[in-house]
Amino acid sequence: MISGIHHVTAIASDPQRNLDFYAGVLGLRLVKVTINYDDPGTYHFYYGDGLGRPGTIVTFFPWPGASRGRIGTGQVVSTNLSIPDGSAGWWRERLEKAGTTVAASGSGKPGDVALTLHDPDGMALILTEEGDEERPGWDGGGVPADFAIRGVDSVTLEVADGAKSRATLTEVLGFTHETGDRFGAGDHRPGTGVYVCETRGATANRGLMGAGAVHHVAFRVADSDTEIECREKLLAAGYHVSPQMDRQYFRSIYFREPGGVLYEIATDEPGFTTDETEEALGSGLCLPQWLEPQREIIEQHLPRVTRPQPRVAAAAQAS
């Protein structure tokens, strides 16, 4: 039913700094600029590959001046991004030149290197070399395709009671145990993993939402009918699940797993080209139809930002 991770959504503070890091330093494509539907005065940035395919997406609600979150139990505590074999050295040099502190782990051989870093708001990221990665890299953001980030590899949860969180993954959502703390969905390729880490007792500080904290992780299903089936299964198992919501580019349901982590189930369809062409993705402010009458007011209240200029867009304009 669930084939892997659809996206990860986190909180940021300064929107321009967020753009500069994810679209600039990391070279991800800004595939959509919209607003938080529950807070129209706040941007919602989507980053991903050239089309924003499910599994490649990291999104942010940038609240200017937001205080730092506290990382702890009940949260996704790290987001692991997939990079090609042999690219860790290139990435370490690029990140350090950009002023980002990087720590490496693994044997140092291709396919066994991970780089740990934090984004400007303190969100934990891990760039992991993946040998069986088949997703294409996007080279329009200043990072050559041979080194480009392929997408989300996995996420790591921190919870106070690992048994209950593991049971939700395996007994309700259809994940299987792979090894150690890792669980996988679908074909178990990159983009399907969840690590469940348990912290008990005095060290189990509850996480607090804020800049640098992950708001939720979304798992992917093929279509709306499959999502409704998933919702019915969750309700039958006793979970409190939101109604299905139209997020323009996918449909979603939300619930909290027993450890407190907010889960979303999101559909693969219809995708990000519903209101922009592939060449124009991320170039304008996209609003749902029900907010279009308020466009002028919304634009007046949103902070001014300078968007990156991907080569694919520049080439299209030149032609």
pLDDT digits (tens, 9 = 90+) for 112-124: 789 999 999 999 9
pLDDT at 274 over 90: yes
pLDDT at 94 over 70: yes
Q: What is the DSSP pairing of strand 113-118 with strand 124-130?
A: antiparallel
pTM of the model: 0.94
Look at residue 317 in the predicted model and tell me its pLDDT: 34
Alpha carbon 220 to its chain's center: 12
Look at residue 133 in the predicted model and tell me its pLDDT: 85
Look at residue 172 in the predicted model and tell me its pLDDT: 96
Q: 278 vs 106, which has greater pLDDT? A: 278
| Domain boundaries defined on the chain | 4-318
Mean pLDDT of the chain: 92
Q: What is the DSSP pairing of strand 214-221 with strand 4-12?
A: antiparallel
Which H or E element spans position 230? helix 224-236
Instruction: Judge whether 87 and 106 are in contact, CB under 8 Å.
Output: no
Q: What is the DSSP pairing of strand 39-48 with strand 193-198?
A: unpaired
pLDDT at 110 over 70: no
Look at residue 38 in the predicted model and tell me its pLDDT: 87
pLDDT at 9 over 60: yes
Q: For the domain 4-318, what is the CATH superfamily, name and number?
A: 2,3-Dihydroxybiphenyl 1,2-Dioxygenase, domain 1 (3.10.180.10)
Q: Two tokens at 31? A: 């595939």
What secondary structure does DSSP assign to 11-43, as a single string? EES-HHHHHIIIIIIS--EEEEEEEETTEEEEE
Q: How far apart are CA 226 and CA 231, in angstroms?
A: 9
Give the burial class of 307: count Cβ atoms within 10 A of its Cβ; 0-12 exposed, 13-18 middle, 19 or more buried: middle
pLDDT digits (tens, 9 = 90+) for 130-151: 878 889 989 999 999 999 999 9
Say which amino acid occupies 132: D
CB atoms within 10 A of CB 192: 24
Mean pLDDT of 168-181: 96
